[in-house]
Amino acid sequence: DITMTQSPDSLAVSLGERATINCKSSQSVLNTSNNKNYLVWYQQKPGQPPKLLISWASTRESGVPDRFSGSGSGTDFTLTISNLQAEDVAVYYCQQYYGVPRTFGQGTKVEIK
């Protein structure tokens, strides 16, 4: 199984500042045949299912604010929330879909400082 490790486990950021979440996979999730990274980011708020934010490591889903951005390739990925808003308080998960089973990171909790 591909292990997804996120860091940090939690972080507190002031409103309007930047939050950076890292996700590392135990093996590359880059498909060299199409040069795509098989990684997504989700946001989950209490009592709700996860919400898809970014697919293919860096493609923002329709309706997702442009303060959310994804980057990285191979085994190291980053979700950046610029200009943090109060509604961004949530737990964020990465998930790989390169291997079976699909696997998720343990989550990063973002709070307001």
**Residues 41-60 as x/- pattern, contact with other proteins by CB under 8 A:** -x------xxxx--x-----
**Residues 71-110 as x/- pattern, contact with other proteins by CB under 8 A:** ----------------------x-x-x--xxxxxxxx---
Should residue 24 be labelled a site residue for other proteins when binding is judged by CB under 8 A?
A: no
Query: How far is 88 from 98, CA to CA, in rounded Å?
Result: 28
- Looking at residue 102, what DSSP letter applies? -
Paired tokens of 38: 């098989």
- Count the residues in the chain: 113
Which of 42, 68 has the CB closer to other proteins?
42
One-letter amino acid at 37 equals N
